[in-house]
Structure 1
Amino acid sequence: MSNKIEFKNSLLRMFRARIPFISIRSIERARVLEIIQELAEEINIPMYVHSLSHGIIDIKTRKTVNDDRSVVGGIDFAVQNISQRQNLTFIFTEVSDIEDDNIVSRHIYDCVVQAIERGGSICIISTKSVWSQLQRLGMTLTLDPPNEDEMLSIVKDCVLPYQNSFPIEWDEKDFKMAATILANMTKIEAENVLATQMAKGSLTKEDIKLLTQEKDKLFSDISGLEKVKVDSNMLSVGGLNGLQQWLESQRQLLTADLKARKLRPPRGVLLVGVPGCGKSLSAKFIATTWSLPLYRLDFASIQGMYVGQSENRLKEAFESADNASPCILWIDEIEKGLAANANDSSGVTTRMIGQFLFWLQESTEKVFVVATANDVTKLPPELLRKGRFDELFFVDLPEEREREDIINLYIKKGLLPPPSIETFEKLVALSSGFAGSDLEGAVRDVAIQAVINGDGAVNDELYETCFRNIVPLSKTSPERIEAIRNWGKERALPASGFSWNSSPNDNVIAKRTIII
């Protein structure tokens, strides 16, 4: 059932019960009034709407009954008429300063007291909270933006009337996909996006992707999140077979209708492992593969100096992500934002962890979280419990076969003359223990010399020199890297899809995840 239907049924019961004060929280005033207009046709109760542009009008006849456009004038008119007639309903659409104890809120309070005696009802449409003393005289309703069910009706109402006017390639599956993409936008926003697409005189299946781009523009600067631009032409992948196969199955679930089986959409994946092996770039790879917008949550920007500020900012960020769904939410180095801190006497970190876990568990929006961690031992144990994330993958150093692929990819990307076969094999051996970032750095050094001295300067000796100059993290901090790999081998799936196969003579666990 859509939120609109539930809202309409609840509001109808409140009108019939003559609740003296009703506050409606919504950013879509026109949509709320549209629903009230429908109710006015169903029940025989006089209803009047006040706005700053029209004064007070009869919602059924659309005739003006009071020219005073001020809020105070509208309230005075309501008090006067409620005292003379039974069962009147007045809807106010633009009331400011209603959150606190002030002249306006007290004026409305007196009007509501009058309505209680005469069976009247005062309804306020606002995006703000209401003064507590006033709110206790009535009830509250919230109309959320259209969900997928309601958005499907909106999309069809916009598109189908034109099916005889120009070519429309969309079938039922495409309509559902469009509804999934546009869900959580306001009705007018969705109608504007669709009208823009139809203005070219056709609707093709390719336009489905354009809907994602148009929605992305609306949410490109949202609270608490950083929009990440991804250039698919700059991403090349080496390894990741296991992770890619798993992601493909999750992608199908992200667009499937899961309501009948009471399943929630895929929640996300936690990638842990050796620094520099492509965990962070995996988020960009997923966003590109799935053709979804990518947003980055930075816990450092969430932190505030006042009590409760950090928690409120985090809540707003999650609400923004829900509204932007379907999307990818990237949380890089999550352990730095949610690590337990013995010196945290304020309890901010503990509350943020609780808020994150609650959202991760309860949100039903199609937000796929890609969280990365280098030092997973700093993460709270409850975050690693099965059910928080859909899966936990370990990203290890690339083994020999993968280093071959990765070096080749970087050479081609840099438009470099390749080394001889013998030297290439030597480079693969020299790079044992290299992370993907180390391999990139070695080949980049070769490319720099090619830019400075020309391609003629690129030879086998230069390749060997550049590779030998790299000192990988596995050699500078071997104990740290070994601890990370031992943890991953015992607790996580290898992102390569291969089974673990370490041996005393094998310096590399079978995991290969590099994104270039």
Structure 2
Amino acid sequence: MDPSLASSQNLTSDSVVDLNVIIDPKSISKLEVEPDTADDWENIQLHAGMLESQIISQTRAIALDQRLILYISGSIKANLKVLKVEPEVRYGLLSPFAEIAIASKTRRQQTKKSTSARSASRARSSLDDSPTILLRGIPLPHPIFEETHNECLFEAHVNFHDISSSLPNTEYVEVSIVPGPKAKDTQGQSQLPPQGRSQYTSKIIAKLINNPKANGSVGLSRILSIALSLDRSVGQVVQLKKVNKPSDVKPIIAIQPIITESLPEVSKVSLSEDILIKKKEKLTQQKADILNSFLSLQLNNTVLTNSSKIPIMQGLTKGGILKFKDESLKFVHLSGKNDFKIEIEEEVLIPKSESPQSIHTEVNRTDYPIGQEEILKKIEKAVRRGNIGALVYGNSGSGKTLIVNEISQKLHDKGYFRINVDCYELSKIPVQNLKEKFELLFNRCSWHSPSLLLLEGIESIFPVESEQGDVSQTRQLTEFFIQSANSLNKNKTLTILATARSKESINSLLLSSHCIEETFSLQPPSKQIREKIITEYLKIHKLSFDKTYDSTQLSVDTEGFLPKDLKILADRIHHECIYDSIKTGKVPNLITNANFTKAIKDYTPSGLRGVKLQKSTTSWNDIGGLRDAKAILLETLEWPTKYAPIFKSATLRLRSGILLYGYPGCGKTLLASVISSQCGLNFISVKGPEILNKYIGASEQSIRELFERAQAAKPCILFFDEFDSIAPKRGHDSTGVTDRVVNQMLTQMDGAEGLDGVYVLAATSRPDLIDSALLRPGRLDKSVICDLPDFEDRLDIIRSITRKMNLSDDVRLDEISGKADGFSGADLQGVCYNAYLKAVHRKLDLEKLEMEGKAEKGTEAEVHEFFQLCFNEKTPDVIKTTEKNKLSKQVELLLQSSKVIGENKETITKIHKKEPNVHITHLDFITALDDTKPSISQSEKAKLGGIYHKFIAERDGNMQDGSSGTEVGARTTLA
């Protein structure tokens, strides 16, 4: 739509318009218009010659009281108003041969006499002004006021002591809303369409009621707040103006029902008598319903204002506008129930946002942050101090919105004005426009103080400053926001409550400038809270767990679930119960183990989506030896999860870190992979060098993100392979990257917040290179050696590896174990696989020989002889050469097809054979053992043995500090 046309119709970019299709409009033959201003009339006079043709060429659709914009020449335009059309219709199409009449509009010359008369009138009106007072409005019901008011009476509850000087001896007042700051594009413009504008008044007469609790505020009864277009909005500035006591008369009340959508135009055709009777009966019934509704409101001993909005009631589905037939009456007092008569008038169209509500509308609160009472108390205690900023951060689905909405409701109950801002939507606006938006928000907060500014997703408009991108605009916007908030807090009360995914994702200026002073982290709920949350959500569906259901299993299966995940799980359980009820025909009310198992199957909680979790199919039976290491790992990782109530009662901090060290190839990484599948824990594997980054701060950020992923996936094992490459002794890295990584690891593994449900498992073959601060209790509590296997361990390893192999009866595993002295677990695995390959080669050679033998037999049988059988004397004795060749080709085809069928049968027979036909003999093992050499040489074994011996038995406080030697020839690195 053209901007000038939209402006003439008082439409803004957010206005809602109705479009109706008009079929067969009338043709207009004569049009009378009038210029809006004298300037428009002068432009019309200057271009009178081309005016008529311009109107006809630019305008087709015409309606009464329509505003026309006529572009005369270039940028010259004139605004016209339609006064009259012929024939007399509401709208139609302008005929190309229509007659157009334009009324003149001359400038009015002001005389000294008229000017002085107006000045005198203004002076008299200013002298006659009644006393007024401004107070903060609070729509009732509200916790600040006692439940003693009547919702159906026009009453204003104030403390008479506060208004005694401004409004002495006042019984009735005129109540109106003082508009606050608005956006520039809507300043001073009404949002109502032309038809609904000025249809209802914004000044309502009400009776004053004394309420000692109304300190500096005025409580507006429910029907009064509806008439003032206030829908439970606390903090609006209300003006109270003294008026005389209304007169007691018996008015005739006219009700205009409100509609929010225009009805389709009905063609003017003659209606049948039956339709007219039904329409009359409908109006009579509507009138009776409205009369009964008025009587039920008990509008006796109250005051009514002309052109005031009335709430939704029986007969008025969208509310209505109350008017007096006697227009001279501004307001009247009703002293009895039968002191008025009611008439129904034509419907009036107003925007849906301006339509009134019902008196008895209750705020339904469906969601409540279950189990978050402790953090709610902390946040409420912090924000009640006023002039403070608080940040609530947590993963998506952790309940940030529920918690801040609950805090917002608590502050609303204390009389705070609330502004809720979705920062994700604001991030789409240019930065310059964002400054204007925040300036308007702060002006509104100042006008309605005390105020609460709720910013959801604050990291989208105030992100953390990155080194790669341009941060000048973000910094300017952040500084503008901080400066505006600080200047407002000097004189007004403003509380800022923001939400974000993490504290590190927002601009650090917000925290360093004390614009946001308090931060609150939302952690995944504990087992008891998870059980409480899912039980409460199931109560909504009128479901409960069966007595046979084990609630502890619920806690174990939902480990790592966030409140949103539990709500979705409750819905899935409800759907499963409904599905079962359809089969059985019973009403679903009890939840069985089967329902819960089906509901949680294949469901991934939000915290684990996008997290790369390694899954292993290896079991304890696949690992031979390492008996001590297995026992320690089970004690540290499996028992706290399996026997959670027992370990929870322990007063000491549980072990949460293990260092696996030992010779290369002795099963350190294999042990870690088995733990994830056997202990029921999530598993995140990290290779040492992959987290190092050349950019400053990037490596530390990788460490933080790893631990955040592990916290989201808890219970979780965070496994660092080749740990010595990322956590060496500090002081040996010229770039300082690994030093910063070690510092970050120290704070993450034993920081103030601790590790709850996250176990750190590190593997290395050089424990002497690891920084000693990481090896103290509280970080890597226990060091477990994976030593070279002895005879029994080697025998156990060989049995584990060959468990799924087909061994011959002559295989003696104890002899093989005895001859494999000095072999690691990886070496023994290589020996077994080499023996298996030798058996496979032997089997293939035998099959090849068998196939060659069959081929030779087949070649001898390829010579065919043909005999001719004579059955009658007419058959010739000799076959012709051409016929003989033809018969030979047919025989070859038959032989080939029979050969293919035989091969297919043999293949199918082999496929269906389930028993393996590769047998490993003792000789295969001996040959493989002779061909395989130990991967660890004697010198390296002695070197590592000495390192491990010092690490276990002779370690003292005088270990190397990592500083390089100063003498000539001293090495400068620990590698």
**TM-score, shorter chain, exceeding 0.5:** yes
Equivalent residues of 1:339, 1:380 under 8 A apart = yes
Shift of 1:342: 5.9
User: Which residues of 2 match residues 46-445 of structure 1 at below 5 A?
Assistant: 46-51=417-422, 75-95=438-458, 96-99=460-463, 100-103=474-477, 106-107=480-481, 109-110=483-484, 113-127=487-501, 128-130=505-507, 132=509, 135-148=513-526, 150-159=529-538, 164=543, 167=546, 169-178=548-557, 181-182=559-560, 185-196=561-572, 199-201=575-577, 202=591, 204=593, 214-215=603-604, 218-219=607-608, 221-222=610-611, 227-232=613-618, 236-250=622-636, 251-254=638-641, 256-257=644-645, 261-340=650-729, 343-362=732-751, 363-413=754-804, 415-418=805-808, 420-421=810-811, 423-445=812-834
Q: CA deviation at 1:231?
A: 1.1
* 1:513 aligned partner: none
C-alpha distance in 1 between matches for 2:718 and 2:724: 16
Cα distance in 1 between the residues matched to 2:410 and 2:435:
26
The 5 Å alignment of 1:6-45 reads 6-27=374-395, 28-40=399-411, 43-45=414-416
TM-score, scaled to structure 2: 0.44
Residue 762 of structure 2 aligns with an amino acid whose one-letter code is: A
Structure 2 match to 1:470: 932
Q: Tell me the SS of whatever aligns to 1:397.
A: coil
How many aligned residue pairs are there? Answer: 468
Encode CA deviations 1:108-130: one digit per residue, 9 max, x unaligned: 64255235422233333334424
Opposite residue 928 of structure 2, the aligned amino acid is C
The structure showing larger relative contact order (alpha-carbon pairs under 8 Å, at least 6 residues apart) is 1
In 2 relative to 1, CA 245–340 (structure 1 residues): closer, same or farther, beyond 3 Å?
A: closer
Q: Could you tell me how far apart the structure 2 residues matched to 1:393 and 1:324 are? A: 25
CA distance in 2 between partners of 1:487 and 1:12 (Å):
57
RMSD value, Cα: 3.6
Closer, same or farther: CA 481–389 of 1 in aligned 2, 3 Å = same
| SS of corresponding position for 1:86 | coil
More strand by share: 2
Return the offset for 1:267: 0.5
Query: Alpha-carbon deviations, 1:117-170, whole Å to 9, x = none?
Result: 222333333344246268434523223233315434323323466685675754
C-alpha distance in 1 between matches for 2:801 and 2:482: 69
**C-alpha deviation, 1:259, in angstroms:** 5.6
* Aligned equivalents of 2:411, 2:393: Cα separation in 1: 20
TM-score, length-normalised on structure 1? 0.78
Single out whichever of 247-256 and 103-112 deviates more from structure 2.
103-112
Counterpart-to-counterpart distance in 2, 1:51 and 1:268: 42
Match of 2:296 in 1: none
Structure 1: which amino acid aligns with 2:644?
A: A
Distance apart, 1:341 and its partner CA: 7.0
**Secondary structure, counterpart of 2:694 in structure 1:** coil
Q: Give the aligned residue type for 1:144.
A: L
Mapped to 2, the partners of 1:390 and 1:469 lie a distance apart of: 41
The DSSP-based 3-state class of the residue aligned with 1:485 is helix
Q: Deviations over 1:430-462 (max 9, x none)?
A: 211111111111111122233444356743322
CA distance 1:214–1:281, shift in 2 (3 Å): farther
Greater Rg over alpha carbons, structure? 2
- Asked if 1:461 is matched to 2:923, the reply is yes
Kindly provide the amino acid, as one letter, of the partner of residue 275 in structure 1. Answer: P
Q: CA deviation at 1:302?
A: 0.8
| 1:466 positional shift | 0.8
Cα distance in 2 for partners of 1:131, 1:76 equals 22
CA contact (8 A) 2:810 2:922 kept: yes
Alpha carbons of structure 1 residues 92 and 342: separation in structure 2 relative to 1, 3 Å: closer
Q: 1:286: Cα distance to partner? A: 1.4
After TM superposition, give the deviation of residue 260 of structure 1 in Å: 5.1
How far did 1:490 drift?
Answer: 6.1
Aligned to 2:760, the other structure's residue is in SS state: strand
Aligned pair in 2 of structure 1 residues 76, 470: CA closer, same or farther (>3 Å)?
same
Using the aligned pairs only, state the percent identity: 19
Change (3 A) 1:164 1:214: closer
- Report which stretch shifted further, 396-405 or 32-41: 32-41
State the alpha-carbon separation in 1 of the partners of residues 573 and 938 from structure 2.
55
Structure 2 spans left out of the alignment, 5+ residues: 1-369, 427-432, 464-473, 578-590, 844-916, 954-975
Conserved in 1, the CA contact under 8 Å of 2:836 and 2:924? no
Q: Tell me which residue corresponds to 2:941.
A: 481
Amino acid at match of 1:81: R
State how far apart, in whole Å, the 1-side matches of 2:409 and 2:376 are: 9
Alpha-carbon spacing, 1:383–1:212, altered in 2? closer, same or farther (3 Å):
farther
Q: Give me the whole-angstrom Cα distance separating, in 2, the residues matched to 1:249 and 1:336.
A: 28
Greater shift in the superposed pair: 288-297 or 238-247: 238-247
Quote how far apart the aligned CAs of 1:269 are. 1.6
Structure richer in helix, relative to its length: 1
Q: Which residue identity does 2:663 align to in structure 1? A: V
Q: How far apart are residue 43 of structure 1 and its match? A: 2.9
Q: Does 1:450 align with 2:839?
A: yes
Task: Quote the residue 1:502 is aligned against.
Answer: none
| Separation of aligned partners in 2, 1:212 and 1:347 | 47
| SS, match of residue 266 in structure 1 | coil
Return 254-263 or 280-289, whichever deviates more.
Answer: 254-263
Give the whole-Å Cα distance in 2 for the aligned partners of 1:389 and 1:424.
38
Q: Is the 8 A contact 1:50 1:74 kept in 2?
A: no
| Structure 1 residue 292, shift from structure 2 partner | 1.2
Q: Within 2, Cα distance between the matches of 1:360 and 1:212?
A: 33
Which sections of structure 1, spanning at least 5 residues, go unmatched?
Answer: 56-69, 494-516
Q: State the shift of 1:249 in Å.
A: 3.1
CA–CA separation in structure 1 for the residues paired with 2:833 and 2:746: 41
Decide whether the 8 Å contact of 1:98 with 1:105 is kept in 2: no
Q: Give the Cα–Cα distance (whole angstroms) in 1 for the partners of residues 551 and 544 of structure 2.
A: 19
Task: Report the residue type matching 1:98 in the other structure.
Answer: F
Question: Which residue in the other structure is 1:500 paired with?
Answer: none
